[in-house]
Structure formats: structure tokens, C-alpha cells
Chains A and B, each alone.
Chain A
């Protein structure tokens, strides 16, 4: 079963890459941006058919490796 996870920087953590992307987009005439934050997206095919269990496995992965909880949040976003 495929589970996706999105890792984003927490609100108060500086995201210089997001700032540069924001600036570049503005220079390209996208003038209607408040803020850009860059994150990571994972698609994990888990050997588990129970959606609840599969989600729990990916959540455990997020806590232990995929996200650093000092600076990042994770969100399990979809099940296919």
C-alpha cells in the first residue's frame, strides 16, 4: 500500500531556500505571493494492506528518520 508523507519546516524556522524561491518568483512577475516554504515529499510503498497500520508504520518512520522534530512537522497525506 502506498502512503505519502510531507515534511515541512516549522513556522519559526528560517527557510532561506524558500525565500530565494519567493524572490525569484516575484522577479518572474508572480506578484501575489505572501510566503514560500520548501519541504520534502515521500512516497512509500509499505508491505501492509491495512490502511490504518500502514499509516502508523509511516508515522513511525517520520518520527524516527524522515523528519527532525526539532525543526520539522510531518503530515501523512494520502493513501492509494
Chain B
């Protein structure tokens, strides 16, 4: 399985993602934002970081970079595109997933482990995972998911909510919402479920000595479900 990780100026989780993808069997290529052609890929990842210094709005400048037109075409033809953290912000700014990510409600940069609950396993990202609650890491200043009431209705009608912030038992309540996101939303799909954007970092949970193993479960399942 071939993957591509796009590096923007200011990306800082691109190499972590490269390590994670390779650890679980992907043949990964790093792709520079100024490239025009995307290498042949089964999965494209927009990594976390602070692309273009988060100038204007997080992800807005990256969403207009040269490689993004190829990424958008790849996604529109059904290719799998995953955006993590700043990658999620780039996805919303490029219009591949609905909504926007606002400044965290309590204005603090949040860096901690959280629990998330999967809502919908009828997609390549989560199918065959045998548990619903995962412990992932978040580190962001703008992760407060927001959309219009009309968009929210459409997202819910199409089962586009991918993961919710919850507690270790899977309870989805406001007190387990770290950043003020509407409905505790931590990640969403596009309508077709081939594009996934999420704030949590599964690539930070792939080594039992340093963290948990929930990221390992995610990546092992991901490569098997793409095959």
C-alpha cells in the first residue's frame, strides 16, 4: 500500500506520520507543497503542524498551495485523504469537509490525551476495528469545530460525524469537550467517507514505551482495510 504525506512549510508532524505509516507497512513518500503531481497513492495524509505559520486563518494558505489541487482532484475521484490537526484545518479550508475550526473556547492551547468515540464504522478508516473508544493525543489552539445549523443537519443526516470527544467509558458530554466543538465533534468525514479530518493524533500513540497503543490499532486496521 502506497501513501503520501504532504509537507507544508511549518508542518511538524509529517515525520511522525511517516514513521507511523512505515511501521505498519505503508510505502510512504514525502511530498513537498510546491510539487504539482501527487505520486501514485492509496492514501494521502495532510499532517499536523502550523502550515505557513497559521497566517490569516489556520490552514487557509496551505489550502491554496500547488499540491492541493492534485489532492482535491484525488479526493474527488474517491481517493482516501486523511487530515490530522492542522491537516483537518487544511481540509475544511479547501472545502473537502464541511465546517471550520475556530479558536478553542477557553483560549488555551490544549496538549493532552483525550478519549474519543467512533460513531460510524461503515468506512475504510474504521471498519473492522473491534472497539469504539480510543485514547489519542490532542495538541491544538484552533480545534473548536463549528458549522452552520444547516450544515450540521446535513452532516448528521449523512452520518458524517467520525469521532466525538468522550470520557474513558464513551460518555459524550459537554464536560469531556476540551475545546468547545459543536456536539463534541473531534473529526468528520466528507459525504462519501473517503476524506477524514480529525483533531486527535493517532500517530502519537504507536509506541507502548512512549504512549498508548491505540494509534497502532488504528494504523494496523487502516492498512488492512485499504488492501
Contacts and interface: CB of A to CB of B under 8 A. Distances in A.
Contacts of A71: 100, 102, 146
B60 A16 contact: no
Interface residues of B, number: 19
Given A68-B93, A70-B148, A71-B146, A16 B56 contact: no
Interface string B84-128: 000000000100000110111111000000000000000000000
B29 interface: no
Interface residues of A, number: 10
Contacts of A68: 57, 60, 93, 100
B182 to A, nearest CB: 10
B64 interface: yes
B64 A16 contact: no
Nearest to A70: B100
Nearest to A66: B56
B72 interface: no
A31 B28 CA distance: 58
A14 B180 contact: yes
B100 A16 contact: no
A20 B107 contact: yes
A33 interface: no
Interface in A34-80: 65-66, 68, 70-71
A65 B107 contact: no
B58 to A, nearest CB: 10
Interface string B139-167: 00000101110010000000000000000
A3 B103 CA distance: 28
A28 interface: no
Nearest to B104: A16
Given A13-B146, A14-B180, A70-B147, A65 B56 contact: yes
Given A65-B56, A65-B60, A70 B99 contact: yes
24 contacts: A13-B102, A14-B105, A14-B144, A14-B146, A16-B103, A16-B104, A16-B105, A16-B106, A16-B107, A17-B103, A17-B107, A20-B107, A65-B56, A65-B60, A66-B56, A68-B93, A68-B100, A70-B99, A70-B100, A70-B146, A70-B147, A70-B148, A70-B151, A71-B146
List 8 A-B pairs, minimum CB-CB distance, nearest first. Answer: A70-B100, A16-B107, A71-B100, A68-B100, A16-B103, A68-B57, A16-B105, A20-B107
Interface of A: 13-14, 16-17, 20, 65-66, 68, 70-71
